[in-house]
């Protein structure tokens, strides 16, 4: 039981550390609300936003942007938490399958499968909790230059990702 609590605390701390990144991830949606670009924010110009994704720098003009959202979606945090929790859960439950206490007995395979899915569910719950604590910003542009000029002032205050792995 103590090892399960310890493992949960480790999973929470890893998930929180991965969400505490210094660079700002943004998602861009068009006027109709469909996501068309995502990546790390690298700056703005008078008429566009710049981002980098998979080492490819992209400049997107204002007239294509409906909404800008910061941070990753809640599903990303939940998936990360599930992946982090699945393997340790499988290991812990597999280790517990060797004893026969007469009350709860299960085979090694049952322990691995049950622990994998149990750890994944627990990790997803932790990811959902972490995601709920994230402050996401929303910038409404609607393809209009006057909206862009107002929102650009706020965008210029967020952390910029620099390709030399340093943040401003």
**From CA 56, how far away is CA 27, in angstroms rounded?**
15
Full domain range(s) for residue 61: 21-71+136-168
- 151, 113: one domain: no
**From CA 138, how far away is CA 88, in angstroms rounded?**
36
- Helices 2-19/108-132 angle, 10° precision: 40
Q: 106's torsion region: left (phi>0), alpha (psi -120 to 50) or beta?
A: beta
Q: What is the CATH number of the domain that holds 141?
A: 2.30.30
- 98, 59: one domain: no
- 34, 53: one domain: yes
The model's pTM: 0.61
Quote the number of domains for the chain: 2
**From CA 7, how far away is CA 23, in angstroms rounded?**
28
Residuewise pLDDT in 10s, the chain (168 residues)? 556 666 566 656 665 555 444 688 889 999 998 999 999 988 899 899 999 988 889 999 999 999 998 887 778 888 888 889 888 888 888 887 766 656 667 778 888 888 899 989 988 898 888 878 777 788 899 889 999 988 888 888 877 776 654 444
What are the angstrom distances between the C-alpha of 41 and each of 65, 84, 119, 126? Answer: 14, 27, 33, 27
């Amino acid at each position: 039981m103590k090892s399960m609590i310890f493992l949960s605390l480790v999973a929470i701390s890893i998930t929180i550390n991965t969400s505490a990144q210094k660079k700002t991830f943004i998602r861009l949606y068009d006027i109709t609300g469909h996501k068309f670009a995502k990546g790390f924010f690298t700056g703005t110009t008078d008429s566009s936003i710049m981002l980098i994704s998979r080492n490819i720098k992209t400049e997107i003009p204002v007239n294509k942007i409906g909404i800008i959202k910061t941070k990753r979606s809640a599903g990303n945090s939940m998936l990360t938490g599930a992946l982090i929790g699945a393997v340790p859960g499988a290991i812990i439950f597999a280790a517990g399958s060797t004893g026969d206490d007469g009350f709860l007995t299960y085979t090694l395979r049952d322990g691995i499968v049950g622990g994998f899915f149990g750890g994944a569910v627990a990790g997803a719950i932790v990811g959902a909790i972490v995601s709920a604590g994230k402050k996401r910003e929303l910038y409404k542009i609607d393809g209009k230059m006057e909206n862009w000029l107002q929102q650009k002032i706020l965008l210029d205050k967020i952390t910029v990702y620099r390709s030399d792995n340093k943040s401003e």
